Structure 1
Amino acid sequence: MPYVHDTMLRLQKSSPAQTEFYQAAEEVLESIRPLLDKDKHYREHGIVERLVEPERQIMFRVVWQDDQGRVQVNKGYRIQFNSALGPYKGGLRFHPSVNAGIIKFLGFEQIFKNSLTGLAIGGGKGGSDFNPKGRSDAEIMRFCQAFMSELYRHIGDTIDVPAGDIGVGAREIGYLYGQYKRLTGSYEGVLTGKGLKWGGSLARKEATGYGAVYFAQNMLEERGDSLNGKVCLVSGAGNVAIYTIEKLYELGALPVTCSDSQGTLYHAKGIDLALLKELKEVRRSSLEVYLEAHPDAVYTPVSAYPADGHAVWRYSAQAAFPSATQNELTDADAKVLLENGVYCISEGANMPSTAQAVDRFIDARICYGPGKAANAGGVATSQLEMAQNASMTQWTFEEVDHRLKDIMAGIFQRSISTAREFDQPDNLVLGANIAGFRKVADAMIEQGLV
């Protein structure tokens, strides 16, 4: 379609050298072709051209001092992509890989993910190339305070409500919120992922992982199947992976892998969840230490990975949960996954599968839940935290988990009903993208040229 092609060419000129952003935009635009062909008014209102350009891009210098008294300089970002449905909502990522293209890809995905939840939240994302690994609590506090000293000007509980992401957990959110409160004198729900003692929500830490599992369960139940008894591959070892593993065990599945930046762990008897939590949430150790307690497990360092992919995907299983980072699952990985018996994939990370891998999954007509649908549990529960803050209440873990389960079922139903509407019932990429796009696009048209 020349329309999509021309839009991508303009995007590459206006946002040069932002590969991940192009990948995310092209995937969405290609999958909504049937809608654009059917409903010409979206083109007449310039919706696609407006959607791919953020409403606001904020870039700033972050100057802070390390424990040796040396001045350090990092770059900070906040991309406020679309507010048609509500205040901007999306996480902050602190990681050396962060740049404008990464943040834009994440923010663009967030528009449709947030739309699919059915909640009143727009799309945004932010972060910095700061690396919290190996830094003291004092250094992280000083960095967070410096970062918030600029960001506070652009956010608010009805304007933009950031959350955590990679490298930004409860500790970082605490330091960021403390600085926001100091600068504004306002105690409001401007950040989510807060501590339970001061406005946080129960089940927020677990939400993305739990949600990805709930989405997988919905996909399987639609086909008369379940997760009970399934061997599952999980990548990552952060909150998403840990709580994916936890919920898989609750539903009777057997998760046998996890991974971190240094290597992959495989334990045929099932991952020892208590030990994994201790290593990653308390000791912050490498997964290789796991072998001290479980010598029957197999650890594969990154240096021994296959040249065309990732060791975590090279084991026999029935279900897979990519929960680490973007493009971690290659076309070669996808081929091996299918050959090894995997027929259900639910993405806990953002865009973890390459475009070629996604095409392979769709062609195979397996249960494939794309990240913008399957991992929306985190942002959904963030919005539930906002609702609790607004009413000055705190719900029980069970109430939040129940609402999360219902939200994930709603996302699945919106995605599959839209896929069926366009005669592609096995293509939840198309279903999720069109359902998310259509709601945002209709709101934009009704609000005029803003």
Structure 2
Amino acid sequence: MSSVKAKKQSYQLLRGMKDILPEEERYWRFLSERVVDFARRFGYSRIDTPVLEQASLYLRSSGPSSDVVTKEMYVFTDPGNERVALRPEGTPGVVRAYIEHGLLNQPQPVKFFYMGPMFRHDRPQAGRFRQHTQFGFEVIGDQSPILDAQLIMMGYRFYKDINLAIQIDVNSIGCSVCRPRYVKKLTQFLTDNKKSLGLDDQERLKKNPLRVLDSKDPNLEPVLQQAPQSVDFLCDECKDHFVLVLEYLDELDVTYNLNPRIVRGLDYYSKTTWEIIETARTGGQDSLGGGGRYDELLHTLGARAKTPAVGFACGVERTITRLRANDIAVPTLPKAGLYIAQLGKEAKKKALRLFTLLDSEGYHVAENLSKDGLKTQLESADRLGVKYALIIGQQEIVDNTVLIRDMENGNQETVDWAKIVPEIGKRLEKGVNSKRLERQQPPLLPVQPQ
């Protein structure tokens, strides 16, 4: 009987997922450092919430009729028989943490920022993945319209500073007092034009008419251009709030468009809503992020009193996609100034000690200690563009020395082991590209779930 070899299993990425490979790392590092810099400059403190929460948290916050809840959320029952969900967005978790940990007792407003993975079972597109990373800024505990304007300005400046051409589209959708009158008028308008609505938009009309304004159906565009606008139905409080937001934006020299179709895709928004839209050189447009007020969400999720809040979030993958599409250069990672090469078993041990010594002194050192051939190692040093190669062979072991090779002119000098650190310091002070690196905090990179 002939034996049949089992077919070897091959593994691939799940649809909508993405590997972040080393050549992309500089974009992630660049954006991460920019986010942290913005947060510190504007007085925001980092908050990290779990990627796994009770599913009901998002059902109550995002809304039972939202696309996030009805179509996109990863929901399952865990081994403890609890219904849980992978985080589809950042705001509900931040709000839950604010309430649970009694942050209402701190001086208000409280300013948070976050950066981490989100999960939505959406249709994959360029720069849009089922696991994607967002950074966001939230301000909880104050209803002043100047906070809306400041957050809009932050998003505007963030993208301007990285050389992406953007526009801000802004709107006000009112509050629980004035919005019902608008929704009633919009519902009547859409019902009168029901024949123009596709099946998805007809379903949205039943559950939440505002979502029809987000329709991507090009055939519906002429109808929606004639739809009633929320700003015409604002109560005095919402109208005054919105006027002040716009006045502050004018004062901040933030260019914006009034867009009555900006209602956002989540049920908890009220008053100011906005989107950050990249205007591509080709004439196309792509939303990079957006935000708005959510003055009633905290009470909905269990806060004892109504607590005003406002925030925005942006997609990292979308941003990187647009940076690359527009050929916008980002800083490369610092290059090593030194390279350790070795010959022989005992030299490898000595090289390990030398690497640790120089690293502890703050020098950026490259190596390939698994290699044996000196020629291969020096070729690697040359490709890396280091200033000096530090060579340890059998003779250096015997003499307790290190051979320093200048990679530019090939000159070599033997230095006593005890003097290697001050000698390296003296030599690198003369160079421009090989200066000693100052110790810094590690870059804030998004933590990928295990």
TM-score clears 0.5: no
**Under a length normalisation based on structure 1, what TM-score does the superposition of the two structures give?**
0.25
Structure possessing the higher radius of gyration over alpha carbons: 2
Write 1 or 2 for the structure with the bigger share of helix.
1
**Under a length normalisation based on structure 2, what TM-score does the superposition of the two structures give?**
0.25
Write 1 or 2 for the structure with the bigger share of strand.
2
